[in-house]
Every structure is written in structure tokens, then in C-alpha cells.
Structure 1
Amino acid sequence: MLQTISVTVIAASIVVFTIFLIPVLLQVRRTAREAEKTLETVRTQIVPLSHDLTVISLEIKGIVESVHRQVEKVEDGINTVGDAALRLREFQGRIERIVEEPLFEIVALSRGAIRGVEAFLHFFRR
């Protein structure tokens, strides 16, 4: 009799377990279908997204290369302006040397002439 009760309890437990297992398995099946649909949606959207990312990365690469070329041109321009400023300064120094000495001589000569005229006038005024 104990054996019959044990078998009955085990059978009842298996039936109850099976009853609870059926909804769980049905939910697992629904979840698997939804996961499959989601994966299919993701798969169809990844291809255009990947293409768009490739296009964007190529455009960014082109922009970066353009900026790099522009920076090189600006650097060349800055170097050219620096060279021109240096040549202008050298030219200014040469002009100062060429003009300054004769100008000082002219000023000294003028000053001497004025003093000579003043001395001459002062001599005859007496």
C-alpha cells in the first residue's frame, strides 16, 4: 500500500509538474519566435546601416584630408609671409644704411652752412 501511495504521489507530482511546464515551454517558444523576428529585423537593418557608416567614414576621411591639405597651404602661406617680413626688414636695414649716412652728412653740412652764414652776418653787423 505504501508503494501504491508513493507511486500515486510521484505520478501526481509528474502531472502537476507537466501542467506547470506546458505554459513555461509555450512562453519559451513565443520568446524564441520574437527573438527570431528581432534578429531578422536587425539583420535587414544592419546592411543599410553598415553601408551608411562606410559612406560617412569615407566622407569624413575626405574632409580630414582636405583639412590637412588646407593646413599645409596655410603653413606655406605663413612661411611665405615670414620670409617676406624678413626680406622687408633686410631691405629696410639696407635703405637705412644707404640713406642715413648721406642724410647725416647733409644735415651736418646744412648746420655748418647755417653757422657760417650766421657768423658771416654777425661779423658784418659789428
Structure 2
Amino acid sequence: MALEYGSELTCSMGVKDMTASIAWYERVMRCELLYRADEIGWCELRTPMAGVNIGLSEVESVVQGGGATNVFEVADIVQAKAHLDAEGVRQDGDIQHIPGLVKLLTFFDPDGNAFMFSQSEMAS
């Protein structure tokens, strides 16, 4: 029997304050709350990217380091950086540029979970 994937991906991460985190993801990442299950400390938000959701698990302390970094492709990374700057989002330096390949920008949510924006320079 072959492995068959569905049409969705949920990127899960821990947060200390569910209410504040939902507001941040709605404002900064332009997500939309799908549901919130306080009895299990979990919610899911739809991202602007089709089939990709963010799952938040409320925890007492968020472990830093290790794990995956979720990378979202954007149409204009300079514009995306300006949006993060306007929102006061902590970033790990400036836009990294690998000519002919990609531009990358690392940033963090309020709990220190790492994300990246990417803008491809590869010909399709």
C-alpha cells in the first residue's frame, strides 16, 4: 500500500499565551482563526497560502532551538520586511541574498518561534 498525502499541512508550535498569539498571527501573518479548543490548549489558523495552517499549542514554557523553521514564499521580500518592521517584529539580521537562487529573511513570533520569508530567483 502506497502512502497518500492529503491536501493540507499544519505547522505546529508552542506558545505561552494563546489569545495574544492568535492576535499576533492574525495581524502579522494575515492568518484567519479556524477554531480554538481551550479544553486542550489548541487552535488552528489558516494562512494565506492554500492548504497550509498554523497550529498553536498553549504550553507553560516554549523550548527554543532545534525543530523545523517554517518558510513562507512571498512575492516581494522587501515589502514583507517593511511589513515586519512596521509591526515591530524581531528579525535575525537583514535579507540574505544568494544571487540567482533566493532571498531569505528570518524572523520570530513573540514566543521566539522562528520563521522565514523567501523570494525565489530561480527561473521556472
Sort the TM-score into its range (normalised by shorter chain): under 0.3
TM-score by length of 2: 0.14
Query: RCO greater where, 1 or 2, for CA within 8 Å and sep 6 or more?
Result: 2
TM-score by length of 1: 0.13
Which is richer in helix?
A: 1
Q: Which has the larger radius of gyration?
A: 1
